[in-house]
A and B are shown apart, each in its own frame.
Chain A
Amino acid sequence: GDSWGMLACLCTVLWQLPAVPALNRTGDPGPGPSIQKTYDLTRYLEHQLRSLAGTYLNYLGPPFNEPDFNPPRLGVETLPKATVNLEVWRSLNDKLRLTQNYEAYSHLLCYLRGLNRQAATAELRRSLAHFCTSLQGLLGSIAGVMAALGYPLPQPLPGTEPTWAPGPAHSDFLQKMDDFWLLKELQTWLWRSAKDFNRLKKKMQPPATAVTLHLEARGF
């Protein structure tokens, strides 16, 4: 039964191959490989962030390093929010999807650099700097995919360059909370991006199986 199913699937894929625009062009591999690379980089960053977040949250101390610490998200509106309604997410087109990713990581990268400047230990600074470099790579990769698909890059609005300068009312505790949310949001974004690029990847290939996506915020 399974083997017949796989054979049928393979036949379908082969039948659909000429219909894939990316594959019709001989010699030009199209955006497929770069999407795959972006997807792989996203998964790698997910893995890298797991280690970094563990170290950094221990550095912040309890309750931020407690596994069940999951406070309501308030007061961090400046951070780009990754969680989105499933229907909304489905309704996004590729361009919008990629643009949101690009903008989110641009902001997150900037905040992350601020985090790096504040870190007190050299080891943590090294880890953060390494992660920032990787994230910069992801940003470039997304830009490459967008360029390959013919989408323009979003232009940063003048004067809206995000900064990580806490106001006078910002307490150290809230600062730690912001750091916590930054890492958490980053993790959610990476998870969402993996889904985005997976969907995009499959879309560039024949639609063998339906993509189901269930978005939810995952704890550290």
Chain B
Amino acid sequence: FGTILSEPLPLTPESLKVSINSTKQCLHLQWTVHNLDYHQELKMVFQIQISRLKASNVIWMGNYSTTVKRNQVLHWSWESELPLECAIHFVRMRTMVDDARIPAPRFWSNWSSWEKADAQNSLGDHPLYVFPKDKLVEEGSDVTICYISRNHQDNISCYLEDELTYGKQLDQNVWAFELKNVSFHRKTGTNFYCKGQGVPEGVVLFVSKVLEEPKDFSCETRDLKTVTCTWDPGSDTGLIQLPSYTLFDSFSGKKTLCKHRNRCDWQVTQDSQEVYNFTLVAENYFRKRSVSILFNLIHGVHPLAPYNLFPKSVSATNVTMTWKVSSIGHNSALLCQLQLLGEGKQHNISVRVNGEYLLSELKPDTEYMARVRCAYADHFWKWSELISQNFTTAEAAPSEAPDVWRDVTFVSGHPTVTLFWKPLSKVHTNGKILFYNVVVENLDEPSSLEVLSVPAPANSTKVTLNQSSYQIYVTAHNSVGPSPASAVAISGHPENENVEEGRVNGTEDGFHMSWKPQSRNATGYVVEWCDDPQNLPCVLRWKNLGPTNTGTVISSDAFRPGVRYNFRIYEISAKRMAHLLEKKAGYLKELAPSYNPEVATINLTSHSFTLSWKDYSTESQTGFIQGYYVYLKSKTGEKCHREFEKTILPDNSVGCKYTIDNPDQKTFVVKDLQPESVYEFFVTPYTSAGEGPLDDFTKVTTPDDYSHILIHIILPMIFCVLVVMITCYLKSQWLKDKCYPDIPDPYKSSVLSLIKFKENPRITIMNVNDCVPDAIEVVNKPEGSKIQFTGTRKSPTETKGTKPVYLDLLPTENYSGPGPCICFENFTYNQAASDLGYCGHFPVTPQAPHCQLGPLTSPENLLKTLEQNYMNSLGEIPAGEANLNYVSQLASPTSGDKESPPANPPEPVLCSEYKMQMAIPLGLASPAPSENSSLSSTALLNPSEHCH
């Protein structure tokens, strides 16, 4: 600097050497500048050009300014984004003096010659290389990767993780891949690999997440000796290499490397530095983050937690708490806060080394928790952590008399008193109750005292007394002493139980009850009841009330709906004597009856019966019984009896219902019933909540009644018989005509008058020999026809030679000959038709006369019978039935054989072929009344006598 240069110097860079740092992917340049004077220093500018692949392909040009000494070796580096192994690089430079001492104009020197940097020369003989070897990058940045393949034929594909990646060709063997915005995959890096036919090659990109600035950086000291700074480092960078954290104090110029990523300790030196300007520097390969605070040592004291907190001299109401604190600095004081949990009070005490404080007005036999914490007294910044200690105060005598009640029963005139007391509340026991003392004082004999000791936790005892007045005192004792005494007076005589019982309604709160005071000197009232009256023995409960009370609400968790509770209200006199004031009964909630009474049926008669359920207790039900419903069902009909109303039962059947609204009426007479009838009844009580459950109906059958039979059966029968008899009497003739017409007597027939055979009046019935086939005779014509009716049976021989009679209806009684046969003379029959039929005999036994019995009584029936026989003739006609025979005149040769036996009858089929050939005159068929009409109306045709 001693000489001022006046002209430009021809300074050129010399000995330029280029080397490659593969790890950092840097081109390292070193050169010297000759021709400088000794001790001369010049500020110079070097212009550098870098070419890739070939010298003419300049990819970067820049200036580097520095001060240069003579023969100084200069260094400069250039980082390549493309891995240097992937391409040949060329470097050259020129220089220019840029020193103010050198006047302008200034000239650039000549370019140095191109220096080549070829990393591929140093590669081995592997077929495939991927560069850079490994790289640390920050998330979101761009990376260029290339591969060099020695085998031109190999088809190489490259992948980022598992995704195929496409690059661009740099050289014949070289391909480059630009990876944009690389992301973090795992701590072991992101894999980029290429594979051809050989071993895959690849690189691992270690991607770091962006380093965050530390948050919530703060410092404090626990003992004025060490400062601890903490911060939130934020999310992990995701690399195995963690970022470094350094704490630096700009005032002292000291720094410390932190051992943890979120906390650092700074040792306070002995000098009296109170204020620090701390800077926390977080640093990794890519970034440096820092945060600063100004820290005053005195203002950041966070004392350590106190220790050895103990209770000392514990009594029933007082305790002294002691504790220790860690000393801070130079005899500094701490402010400690003592809390008694549950009390809500805090006591502040200044402490240097040992703390002590008296806590008073405590409850006896109570467990407490004391807590203490401390802060720096000179400058409060932060409480220390709390420490706590439990202790229990000592016992004291119980503070209140037990609540005592009694139950007096008289056994053989002697009162037996059961004393009950309630356990004292925790507030009043002041310790564990060990026993109860019961002192019985006979007021009539002042000198006599009886003392009973009942061990806890008993809550009752029984005392038998004489018929004197007594005063009983009960005290509770713990380890310290007795409680005040409770007094109960007993008169020794039965109480007056004759008080009216009222009812009380239950609500959700309990039973609201009130009473009327009887005396003005009452010192209080007691309401007593049983919690579970359904189960014995009674769990006696009571409630003490002051003299001003005339009402209260009795509630208990034991109260249940549907249970009857009986309350007794006593008035307590000034002498502690109890007098029964009122009785009340009530339900918390009334329910419908849970069961029905068992009903007995008594006094059963044919018209009534009585139902009785005397055993049904109305007291122990689930509600106040208001009455009963009597349901009745009868089989006879749906009509209800008097006083019953028709109702539909729960099972949808129809019944009759009678309401008894008096709960004490436990009998019911069912009247106006039918004898010998089935009735069903069912009785159920009802409360305000409803009636009892529907049970099965009970059946009752009313007994028999004979007068009923007399009236309803026998009398109508008699009446009917009489009517029939009268009717029969009045209509007997008509009936006879209708039912049993007289068989006409042929001898009395008018026809006879037409016959002029006076010389032989006996010959009345025609002979077989007289039958002229197909002879037409008109009976009722006097000019030639002869019809003879005979009432007596004639032998065939006798009738031989008589005049022919063609139609004969002959009633016979004892005929045993051939069966009857009805022969019709076919007066109008022509020859052709008559050829088909003939008259024949048909044997009919007398045992089967019924065949023509009825139908022949009238011509209509006769015709019907004929028709029937005709129809039957189509089939086979049984011998007994085919007794209506058509007698054709053509059949005379056969029929004329009157001697022929009945065993040889004509073909019945032919015989029954009847054709209506003539209408029989009514008068002809009508029989004349005769003595034979009373016989059976069997009309028999005697073929031997009529088919002549």
Q: CB within 8 Å of B: which residues of A?
A: 59-64, 66, 71-72, 74-75, 120-121, 171-173, 176-177
Instruction: Find residues 810-856 in chain B having any chain A CB closer than 8 Å to their own CB.
Output: none
Do B198 and A72 touch across chains, with their CB atoms under 8 A apart?
Answer: yes
Contacts of B191 in A (CB 8 A): 60-64, 173, 176
Whether A61 touches B188, Cβ cut-off 8 Å, given contacts A171-B204, A173-B134, is yes
Do A171 and B161 touch across chains, with their CB atoms under 8 A apart?
Answer: no
Q: How distant is the Cα of A64 from the Cα of B200 in the complex, in angstroms?
A: 11
B202 within 8 A of A: yes
Do A171 and B189 touch across chains, with their CB atoms under 8 A apart?
Answer: no
Contacts of A172 in B (CB 8 A): 133-134, 189, 203-204, 206
B201 within 8 A of A: yes
Contacts of B201 in A (CB 8 A): 173
Choose from B130, B133, B159, B240 the contact partner of A62 (Cβ within 8 Å). Answer: B159
B190 within 8 A of A: yes
Q: List 26 A-B contacts (CB under 8 A).
A: A59-B186, A60-B188, A61-B185, A61-B189, A62-B159, A62-B162, A63-B159, A63-B162, A63-B191, A63-B195, A63-B200, A66-B162, A72-B199, A74-B199, A120-B187, A120-B188, A172-B134, A172-B189, A172-B204, A172-B206, A173-B133, A173-B191, A173-B202, A176-B188, A177-B199, A177-B200
Q: How distant is the Cα of A71 from the Cα of B191 in the complex, in angstroms?
A: 16
Q: How far is the CB of B667 from chain A (nearest CB, A)?
A: 90
Question: Quick one: which of A63, A64, A75, A121 has the most chain B CB within 10 A?
Answer: A63
Q: Which residue of B lies closest to A179 (CB)?
A: B188
Q: Which residue of B lies closest to A65 (CB)?
A: B162
Contacts of A121 in B (CB 8 A): 187
Q: For chain A, what secondary structure do more than half of its interface residues adopt (helix, strand, loop), or is it mixed?
A: loop
Question: Quick one: which of B161, B199, B206 has the most chain A CB within 10 A?
Answer: B199
Q: How far is the CB of A190 from chain B (nearest CB, A)?
A: 24
Choose from B161, B200, B203 the contact partner of A61 (Cβ within 8 Å). Answer: B161
Whether A71 touches B200, Cβ cut-off 8 Å, given contacts A62-B159, A62-B162, A63-B162, is yes
Q: Which residue of A lies closest to B200 (CB)?
A: A71
Contacts of B186 in A (CB 8 A): 59, 61
Q: How far is the CB of B807 from chain A (nearest CB, A)?
A: 112
Q: How distant is the Cα of A74 from the Cα of B159 in the complex, in angstroms?
A: 21
Do B188 and A173 touch across chains, with their CB atoms under 8 A apart?
Answer: no
Q: How far is the CB of B151 from chain A (nearest CB, A)?
A: 14
Q: How distant is the Cα of A88 from the Cα of B318 in the complex, in angstroms?
A: 94
B193 within 8 A of A: yes
Instruction: Find residues 344-393 in chain B having any chain A CB closer than 8 Å to their own CB.
Output: none
Contacts of B161 in A (CB 8 A): 61-62
Contacts of B162 in A (CB 8 A): 62-63, 66
Contacts of B200 in A (CB 8 A): 63, 71, 177
Q: How distant is the Cα of A176 from the Cα of B206 in the complex, in angstroms?
A: 13
Q: How far is the CB of B680 from chain A (nearest CB, A)?
A: 80
Q: How far is the CB of B838 from chain A (nearest CB, A)?
A: 102
Choose from A61, A66, A72, A120 the contact partner of B190 (Cβ within 8 Å). Answer: A61
Q: How distant is the Cα of A74 from the Cα of B200 in the complex, in angstroms?
A: 10
Q: How far is the CB of B749 from chain A (nearest CB, A)?
A: 121
Q: How distant is the Cα of A61 from the Cα of B159 in the complex, in angstroms?
A: 12
Instruction: Find residues 136-188 in chain B having any chain A CB closer than 8 Å to their own CB.
Output: 159, 161-162, 185-188
> A-B pairs with the 8 shortest C-beta distances?
A172-B204, A173-B202, A62-B162, A171-B133, A172-B134, A120-B187, A74-B199, A62-B161
Whether A120 touches B240, Cβ cut-off 8 Å, given contacts A61-B185, A173-B201, is yes
Contacts of B198 in A (CB 8 A): 72, 74
Q: How distant is the Cα of A121 from the Cα of B134 in the complex, in angstroms?
A: 21
Q: How far is the CB of B186 from chain A (nearest CB, A)?
A: 6
Whether A63 touches B240, Cβ cut-off 8 Å, given contacts A71-B199, A72-B199, A75-B199, is no
Q: How far is the CB of A179 from chain B (nearest CB, A)?
A: 10
Contacts of A177 in B (CB 8 A): 199-200
Instruction: Find residues 177-230 in chain B having any chain A CB closer than 8 Å to their own CB.
Output: 185-191, 193, 195, 198-204, 206
Q: How distant is the Cα of A160 from the Cα of B191 in the complex, in angstroms?
A: 33
Q: How far is the CB of A182 from chain B (nearest CB, A)?
A: 15
Q: How far is the CB of B37 from chain A (nearest CB, A)?
A: 44
Q: How far is the CB of A171 from chain B (nearest CB, A)?
A: 4
Q: How far is the CB of B400 from chain A (nearest CB, A)?
A: 64
Q: How distant is the Cα of A74 from the Cα of B195 in the complex, in angstroms?
A: 14
**With contacts A63-B191, A66-B162 known, what are 10 further pairs, Cβ within 8 A?**
A60-B191, A61-B191, A64-B191, A71-B199, A74-B198, A172-B204, A173-B130, A173-B134, A173-B203, A173-B204
Q: How distant is the Cα of A176 from the Cα of B159 in the complex, in angstroms?
A: 16
Contacts of A75 in B (CB 8 A): 199
Q: Which residue of A lies closest to B239 (CB)?
A: A120
Q: How far is the CB of A70 from chain B (nearest CB, A)?
A: 11
Contacts of B203 in A (CB 8 A): 171-173
Q: Which residue of A lies closest to B205 (CB)?
A: A172
Q: How distant is the Cα of A173 from the Cα of B205 in the complex, in angstroms?
A: 9
Q: How far is the CB of A126 from chain B (nearest CB, A)?
A: 16
Q: Which residue of B lies closest to A61 (CB)?
A: B191
Question: Quick one: which of A74, A173, A176 has the most chain B CB within 10 A?
Answer: A173
Q: How far is the CB of A99 from chain B (nearest CB, A)?
A: 31
Q: How distant is the Cα of A37 from the Cα of B687 in the complex, in angstroms?
A: 85
Q: How far is the CB of A120 from chain B (nearest CB, A)?
A: 5
Q: How distant is the Cα of A74 from the Cα of B197 in the complex, in angstroms?
A: 13
Q: How far is the CB of B597 from chain A (nearest CB, A)?
A: 79
Do B199 and A173 touch across chains, with their CB atoms under 8 A apart?
Answer: no
Q: How far is the CB of B762 from chain A (nearest CB, A)?
A: 125
Q: How distant is the Cα of A177 from the Cα of B201 in the complex, in angstroms?
A: 9
Q: Which residue of A lies closest to B131 (CB)?
A: A171
Q: Which residue of B lies closest to A59 (CB)?
A: B188
Residues 751-779 of chain B, each 1 if its beta carbon lies under 8 Å from chain A, else 0: 00000000000000000000000000000
Q: Which residue of A lies closest to B201 (CB)?
A: A173
Whether A173 touches B193, Cβ cut-off 8 Å, given contacts A62-B161, A71-B199, A120-B240, is yes
Q: How distant is the Cα of A172 from the Cα of B133 in the complex, in angstroms?
A: 8
Instruction: Find residues 685-719 in chain B having any chain A CB closer than 8 Å to their own CB.
Output: none
Q: How distant is the Cα of A176 from the Cα of B203 in the complex, in angstroms?
A: 10
Q: Which residue of A lies closest to B23 (CB)?
A: A168
Question: Quick one: which of B188, B193, B202 has the most chain A CB within 10 A?
Answer: B188
Q: How distant is the Cα of A120 from the Cα of B206 in the complex, in angstroms?
A: 13
Q: How distant is the Cα of A60 from the Cα of B190 in the complex, in angstroms?
A: 9
Contacts of A60 in B (CB 8 A): 188, 191
Question: Quick one: which of B185, B187, B191 has the most chain A CB within 10 A?
Answer: B191
Contacts of B193 in A (CB 8 A): 63, 173
Q: How distant is the Cα of A64 from the Cα of B190 in the complex, in angstroms?
A: 12
Contacts of A74 in B (CB 8 A): 198-199
Contacts of B159 in A (CB 8 A): 62-63
Residues 469-513 of chain B, each 1 if its beta carbon lies under 8 Å from chain A, else 0: 000000000000000000000000000000000000000000000
Contacts of A120 in B (CB 8 A): 187-188, 240
Q: How distant is the Cα of A60 from the Cα of B188 in the complex, in angstroms?
A: 6
Q: Which residue of A lies closest to B198 (CB)?
A: A72
Q: How distant is the Cα of A177 from the Cα of B159 in the complex, in angstroms?
A: 16
Contacts of B133 in A (CB 8 A): 171-173
Q: Which residue of B lies closest to A63 (CB)?
A: B193
Q: How distant is the Cα of A74 from the Cα of B128 in the complex, in angstroms?
A: 13
Q: How far is the CB of B150 from chain A (nearest CB, A)?
A: 15
Q: Which residue of B lies closest to A60 (CB)?
A: B188
Q: How far is the CB of B201 from chain A (nearest CB, A)?
A: 7
Q: Which residue of A lies closest to B204 (CB)?
A: A172
Q: How distant is the Cα of A171 from the Cα of B192 in the complex, in angstroms?
A: 12
Q: Which residue of B lies closest to A121 (CB)?
A: B187
Contacts of A61 in B (CB 8 A): 161, 185-186, 188-191
Question: Quick one: which of B185, B187, B189, B193 has the most chain A CB within 10 A?
Answer: B193
Contacts of B204 in A (CB 8 A): 171-173, 176
Q: How far is the CB of B281 from chain A (nearest CB, A)?
A: 25
Contacts of A62 in B (CB 8 A): 159, 161-162, 191
Q: How distant is the Cα of A172 from the Cα of B201 in the complex, in angstroms?
A: 11
Q: How distant is the Cα of A174 from the Cα of B134 in the complex, in angstroms?
A: 10
Q: How distant is the Cα of A121 from the Cα of B190 in the complex, in angstroms?
A: 16
Q: Which residue of A lies closest to B202 (CB)?
A: A173
